[in-house]
Structure 1
Amino acid sequence: MMMLLTTSLLFWLVQAALGSYRHAPSQQPLISTPLPIDVTFMPIIVSNEPAVLNISVTLHRPNLAANASLVELYLAFGNVPCQSYNDTNPITAIDDDGSLELHISDDEEYALRRWLTARPTSGTVNISMTALPRHIDITTPIGPRVDLREIDGGLQGSGFSVVPLPPISPEIEHDLTFCWDLSHSPPNTIFASSLGEDLCHRFLDRAQAKQGMQSTVFAVGPTLHRYPPVEQSPELSQFGLFYFGDTSDIPFDVEKLADYINALFTNMNAFFDVPNSRPYRVFLRPSLRGYGGAGFLSAFMLEYYPNMNVAQWELEWLLAHEVTHNWPLMNSSPGQPTQADNTWYNEGIATYYQTLLPHRFGHTTREELVKQMNMNLQAYYTNPAIDLSNEEAAERMWTDPAAQRLPYHRGLVYFLRMGFFVTQASGGFVGIDDAVLELLEARRRGEPWDLDAWISLVGGALGDVTEAWREYNTMAVGGYLGLPPAALSYLGLRIVRIIAGVKTGSRAHDAGLRDGDVLVENKVMYWQVADDISRNMTLKLKRDGHDFELTYWPRSRETVPSLQVEEVEHGHAWSDL
């Protein structure tokens, strides 16, 4: 059975994880002064030998006391282990006074490993380690795609699982530089990361440097290829798709997929009002089972199973979702380790725009729009986890596939509802796009871009903040989200009610009602015929392009005992029917 797995938004999950750690009590102080940091990757790629990644982290004058946390690294992300760097494969450190002994301290509550100094540091500290590729087999569970893998003699992974960094205060800007050292790789080795394709990269957003390093995906190896080749299309150097080996081993059209995503990325940049197009890269990696992916900083990793064919449009749809994650996002509130308060937004708005924007830009047909919309709607309404609250779904994210998928489709239906309500309330002058773009602008201005900010924006568009909270709370606790018949009219679509389940021999069937008839209008309300036993049901229908009306008595042929009241000469009496 073919399965297209859901994806994870790693970049903002990383930030949320760091945020939850910052707001937790810490036994170790955060570094609160600017600290220049240099990170260097030196892949060791030797023929007929397993590839490994030597990593050096240089801290310029951290001035730490004894028993202070020099660097730290998460032990795992979800169900995927990070590099442990234990006694059998240790981290080593040297400063101006020579060898610096380190002691490991694990924080089980936050799955965090710290390396503590045995004495005060002196001057610059040089830290070295070797990251080893994870061994996987068919039994390896699917999880966040952050681990280091050896692929076709090369390496692919993310900074999150391999690079330990200092415990930096989020209020302090730090100068962080990342470089490649290919001195132990073959001459034809190609390298790339979501940071770019230069040998060195300096983070311009110094306040986000640590998160940026951790949210970086990278690949290096002699069989790594780029499409399009930079020398062939220098104007496309801002975009690249990277894969190992030969495209004949990949079960889809790599070039067609890359061209589609590049065009869509350019359109979305304009839609979300990005003044200067920033780079975007897609990395492919083979899997032993299934398809899926993870979003990183300005990049996406697509995992594919070579022996499983997936339609090209499914991959385009998946990547359209991930490209969207570059812009509309909601920040998690302090003390929200599960991200239940913003996952519905981040995944829901990406699902909303992955469906609508490709059609708006002319990349998909109307038929494809309707198909994708219906697939998402049925995924919500038939989800066995539909009644879970956002918090419950977040807690089951990595153990229950239905719970993992819920925020994507629940969020979509929420935005469809709010889009309709906002358009109605404003007489068509304001749409849901306006509130989404304003939240994005708030983030760019350094203003709050969390749930409270969103409710304020959408409540203002509705003219009723209380109603905005009511809509959110209904969704958040797992309440049923319906769609009024005209809910999709602002998108140029409408909900059509189709008759189904007509029983042969019923009064409706005998009157001529058939499965597939389109219900144009109810001439009589259900409660009217339910309360009045003598009243008929009248429906306006369409069949084969022709409108017609049909009337029948909406009662079963089966009789049951009932009681009625009749007027008699002295008082009242019960009458059996």
Structure 2
Amino acid sequence: MEDLVESCPADGPPIFRISITPLFDHQGASSLSIQQTLARPRCIAHEALLLFETRYGNVPAYQFAEENVLAFDNDGPLPIYFTKTRFDSPDQEWRVKRSTSGKVTLYFKVFPRCVDIKTPMGPRVHMRRDQGGLISGGRWFLPRPAADRVWRHVVEWDLSEAPLDTRAMWSYGEGPGPISRDGYPMTVANSVFMVGPIKSYPKPASTKQPLSGANINCFSLMDPEDDGYDNGWYVEGLAEFYSIFLPYRFGLRGFDYLVGRLNGTLQAYGRSPRIHMDIVDSQRSFYDDWYAELIPYMRGCVYLLQIDSCLRKASGIFGFDQMSPLDDIIVDMGKRWQRGEKLQSCDWLAYLWPYLGDMSQGFREMLRGTAMDLKDVLVAHEDWILATSMQEILEFGLDKSSINQRIVSGLVQGSRAAIAGLKNGDKILLTSRASFSFQGQARVALLVKRKEVDANSMDKNGRTHFSRATARGHEEVVELFLERNNVKADIKDDYGRTALAYAAFQGEAGVVALLVKRNDIDVDSTDNNGRKCLSWAAANRHGKIVRLISEEKPSFRR
């Protein structure tokens, strides 16, 4: 790889170079070999040369060991050790045992994170294998310069030993590079790296897919406050706000989508039993409390809705046919953030001052958990007014840790979960997304394993638990039922349809593969209309299932 001059150029900031070499196994990209070079950092002995964020939310970063990081400067090997000076900060300091001389270069390897079904849900910043490649947020595996100043970040890739179809990407351009970006040390932490058989799709995204919060997060963020609060109300609230309105404004979604998403967010805010929770406390409980997790999203979005209403009334700008004052503020803050400027809540309030005067008291009340009064809030148009609706406070009825541990715990007696029959100690096999229940969905679905469940029990239409599991593609549950000697795998319901017929109709190839191998399954069974499983699969163009049924039991073919 061509060597770059590691210096402090007269016309720009000092260079922080990151050279990445992907390594491969039979499954594709398997790890990364990293070389980081800082131009003349002038770090004195026992001071921090680099900082590394050891966790992001509830996601642990890559576990480095001092002996696996090699460092050199102009005087030769440079001893480095790790330490933490603040218990309340995730940052680990990489300090030097002697003063540096000239440029400093570090060498180390990183491997993707190992996860399984019990790994708690969290921000997807970790390195993971994906379709023969690797993808990761920079903060998960790259230390950053300790000197809080503008650097010229230069990223380049060595693909000389990579498969021919390998491509390498950084948020700011495609490699192998070099690609440069000026900014503060968090520039790399807040970016994404990918390498592998990456495909490009130049066509616009399907109009059926709404803009996600992640699209907004990539545009405009806010730095944490000096007391450590991460300003999640802005980061996540802004993402929620614009993911509701932009698809409608751009003509990608209709009015029903706008109303449904907005009502869902308002319900999630108003129905939460933590509506009065201090937002700093919600940050501490974010990954352990059902309701605290949604506070920055929903409270932040509702606050922005309230501010947008005030700004529109003050400016007289209504509708979606032009930029609103809130749009102008967010765009300007986004540009400043992209340039590497530090932005905090005081900057937000400064933007509001020319329109609304001092809004600091209302802002502090929002953070503390004072319920927001929305009776005079309008939504974009002068005649789009919110209406009050009394609804039940949401209570899940079990600890959030139940989902991660896959064991029901903390069951609240008298709750709907308890009334539905859940018991502490139940093994959870499958769950729906609990967050959907905040936004209008009336229930959370949990499938638990119990020996006393009768697989052959029928509903009013003659369908068994076993039949329902096959139709929904729950292979693990189907296997559990099939392990029992008493399961009636080929029983028909009132319509004459078997479990195989429903699996074939729904296109559940994995379940069909389990069923057709059994001797007690008649693939030629007909329903009350004379249709066979093969007919259902063919009618719905499930080619793989047609092949499975046709090839597995030829003796049944006519």
TM over 0.5: yes
Which residue is 2:212 aligned to?
320
Which residue is 1:370 aligned to?
259
**Structure 1 residue 187: Cα displacement:** 2.3
User: Are the equivalent residues in 2 in contact too, given 1:45–1:154 (CA < 8 A)?
Assistant: no
Alignment of 1:373-452 (within 5 A): 373-428=262-317, 433-438=324-329, 440-441=331-332, 444=335, 449-452=343-346
**Structure 2: how far apart are the matches of 1:454 and 1:104?**
36
User: Are the equivalent residues in 1 in contact too, given 2:37–2:104 (CA < 8 A)?
Assistant: yes
- SS of residue matched to 2:183: helix
- SS of residue matched to 1:212: helix
**Structure 1: how far apart are the matches of 2:279 and 2:390?**
33
Identity %: 27
Which residue is 1:67 aligned to?
46
User: Are the equivalent residues in 1 in contact too, given 2:318–2:381 (CA < 8 A)?
Assistant: no
**Structure 1 residue 448: Cα displacement:** 7.9
Residues 199-237 of structure 1 show CA distances to partners (whole Å, capped at 9, x for unaligned) of: 124334x233x222122212222xx33231xxxx4xx7x
User: Are the equivalent residues in 1 in contact too, given 2:19–2:34 (CA < 8 A)?
Assistant: yes
**Structure 1: how far apart are the matches of 2:364 and 2:99?**
51
User: Are the equivalent residues in 1 in contact too, given 2:29–2:195 (CA < 8 A)?
Assistant: no
Which residue is 1:226 aligned to?
199
Which residue is 1:570 aligned to?
none
**Structure 2: how far apart are the matches of 1:347 and 1:432?**
21
- Greater shift in the superposed pair: 146-155 or 402-411: 146-155
- SS of residue matched to 2:245: helix
CA RMSD of aligned residues (A): 3.2
Which residue is 1:211 aligned to?
186
User: Are the equivalent residues in 1 in contact too, given 2:62–2:140 (CA < 8 A)?
Assistant: yes
**Structure 1: how far apart are the matches of 2:48 and 2:343?**
31
Which residue is 2:352 aligned to?
458
Residues 402 and 62 of structure 1: CA distance in aligned 2, closer, same or farther (over 3 Å): same
Which residue is 1:472 aligned to?
363
Residues 352-405 of structure 1 show CA distances to partners (whole Å, capped at 9, x for unaligned) of: 222122212211111111111111111111122211122222221222232121
Alignment of 1:191-270 (within 5 A): 191-204=168-181, 206-208=182-184, 210-221=185-196, 224-228=197-201, 233=202, 258-260=205-207
Which residue is 2:133 aligned to?
154
- SS of residue matched to 2:252: coil
User: Are the equivalent residues in 2 in contact too, given 1:422–1:432 (CA < 8 A)?
Assistant: no
Which residue is 1:180 aligned to?
157
- SS of residue matched to 1:490: coil
**Structure 1 residue 444: Cα displacement:** 4.2
- SS of residue matched to 1:155: strand
**Structure 1 residue 46: Cα displacement:** 2.8
Which residue is 1:508 aligned to?
none
User: Are the equivalent residues in 2 in contact too, given 1:104–1:116 (CA < 8 A)?
Assistant: yes
- Greater shift in the superposed pair: 96-105 or 156-165: 96-105
Residues 115 and 432 of structure 1: CA distance in aligned 2, closer, same or farther (over 3 Å): same
* Unpaired runs of at least 5, structure 1: 1-32, 237-255, 261-312, 502-577
Residues 331 and 111 of structure 1: CA distance in aligned 2, closer, same or farther (over 3 Å): closer
**Structure 1 residue 154: Cα displacement:** 2.7
Alignment of 1:471-490 (within 5 A): 471-484=362-375, 487-488=378-379, 490=381
What is the TM-score of this pair, normalised by structure 2?
0.60
Which residue is 2:79 aligned to?
101
Aligned residues: 375
**Structure 2: how far apart are the matches of 1:419 and 1:176?**
37
- SS of residue matched to 2:50: strand
Supply the AA of the counterpart residue of 2:365. T
Supply the AA of the counterpart residue of 1:461. Y
**Structure 1 residue 55: Cα displacement:** 0.4
Residues 434 and 123 of structure 1: CA distance in aligned 2, closer, same or farther (over 3 Å): same
User: Are the equivalent residues in 2 in contact too, given 1:435–1:461 (CA < 8 A)?
Assistant: no
Alignment of 1:328-367 (within 5 A): 328-333=220-225, 335-339=226-230, 342-367=231-256
**Structure 2: how far apart are the matches of 1:398 and 1:500?**
26
**Structure 1 residue 177: Cα displacement:** 0.8
- SS of residue matched to 1:127: strand
**Structure 1 residue 131: Cα displacement:** 0.5
**Structure 1 residue 343: Cα displacement:** 2.1
What is the TM-score of this pair, normalised by structure 1?
0.58
* Unpaired runs of at least 5, structure 2: 1-11, 393-558
User: Are the equivalent residues in 1 in contact too, given 2:306–2:377 (CA < 8 A)?
Assistant: no
**Structure 2: how far apart are the matches of 1:82 and 1:54?**
17
